[in-house]
Amino acid sequence: MTKPVVGVIGNAHAIEGKFNTQLVGKRNLRAVAEVAGALPLMFAASPDITDMEALLDAVDGILLTGGRANVHPACFGVEPDPRHEPYDHDRDALALALIEACVERGVPLFGICRGFQEMNVAFGGSLHPEIRDLPGRMNHRMPRLENGEVHPDPEVVFADRHEVRLAPDGVFSRLLGCEAIRVNSLHGQGILELGKRVVVEGVAEDGTIEAIRIADAAGFALGVQWHAEYDPQENPINRVLFQAFGKALRAYREAP
């Protein structure tokens, strides 16, 4: 039997500020290949060259990765602020429509960081550009040195930083077999108001929503705010999530 195929969304990236490319972090590809047991197939987050219907006919699931750009505030009815740039309008346009199509068709969907945020927006939810600015919230951004530069050690950047309490008898608590986990944290933007079909599955100790599912989805439709792709080969929490994604991919591929 051939492996299931996972479409992995790209991000707009300019090399030297002038050569436009699409970029996918290698850890996303390795997580799909090594833990979910599927073939990762990168696709462009650009609606003018990516035919969504053809894409969904070709894959058995979609991975919405993290990305440098925030979801544009216009997608949830808020005026943009230059302080929260950059944005990726093409990815917004493709990803939001793709999420709804996946949920409707039952195509397995796993959203990570920006992908998690996109899932909320796709169903009418909103985001806050800087969760740390809300009363009582912690700084969820990646660790930095005193001079403001990003910490040079990936093990520090991606270390577990806070607890997430899982919803009792929720999908995540059943998958993971526990009520609380610890996760990494590398985001500024986060969920403010929930989308109409978005169900909270996990909440950080400061009240920040960290895990979601889409209610009444025809198939696997889960999202996490943390970077689960970083270490699922060793991290037991992230491994279970990618293995569950892989199981859903195979079931979708084998279905009549």
Which residue ranges make up each domain of the chain? 5-254
Count the neighbouring beta carbons within 10 Å of the beta carbon of residue 255: 9
> Does the structure show a pLDDT above 90 at 136?
no
CA gap 117, 147 in Å, rounded: 29
> Does the structure show a pLDDT above 60 at 1?
no
Dihedrals phi, psi of 229, to nearest 5 degrees: -75, -10
Please compute the mean of the pLDDT values over residues 102-130 and round it to a whole number. 96
> Does the structure show a pLDDT above 70 at 28?
yes
What is the predicted pLDDT for the residue at 79?
A: 82
Give percent of the chain above pLDDT 70: 100
Please compute the mean of the pLDDT values over residues 156-179 and round it to a whole number. 92
Tokens read off for 58: 């070709």
Across all residues in the chain, what is the average pLDDT? 93
Please compute the mean of the pLDDT values over residues 64-71 and round it to a whole number. 92
Global confidence as pTM: 0.94
Q: Is residue 192 helix, strand or coil? A: coil
Q: Does 84 or 236 have the greater pLDDT score? A: 236
Dihedrals phi, psi of 5, to nearest 5 degrees: -110, 130
Q: Is residue 215 helix, strand or coil? A: coil
Among 3-12, 112-121, 127-136, which stretch is predicted with the lowest mean pLDDT? 127-136
CA 33 to chain centre: 17
Q: How many CA atoms lie within 13 A of 209 on its CB side?
A: 24
Exposed / middle / buried, residue 220 (Cβ in 10 Å: 0-12, 13-18, 19+): buried
**Sheet arrangement for strand 61-64:** 39-43, 5-9, 61-64, 109-112, 221-224, 209-214, 198-204, 162-166, 180-183
What burial letters (b/e) apply to 91-106, b meaning 16+ CB within 10 Å? bbbbbbebbebbbeeb
The catalytic residue positions are 113, 227, 229
Please compute the mean of the pLDDT values over residues 206-222 and round it to a whole number. 96
Q: Which residue type, as a one-letter code, is found at position 228?
A: A
> Does the structure show a pLDDT above 80 at 123?
yes
Q: Which residue type, as a one-letter code, is found at position 146?
A: E
CA gap 146, 104 in Å, rounded: 47
Please compute the mean of the pLDDT values over residues 212-224 and round it to a whole number. 96
What is the predicted pLDDT for the residue at 118?
A: 97
In CATH, which superfamily holds the domain spanning 5-254? Class I glutamine amidotransferase (GATase) domain (3.40.50.880)
CA 74 to chain centre: 20
> Does the structure show a pLDDT above 70 at 202?
yes
Q: Are 43 and 10 in contact (CB under 8 A)?
A: yes
Among 60-74, 135-149, 160-174, which stretch is predicted with the lowest mean pLDDT? 135-149
> Does the structure show a pLDDT above 90 at 133?
no
Q: What angle do CA 221, 201, 180 make, to 5 degrees?
A: 130
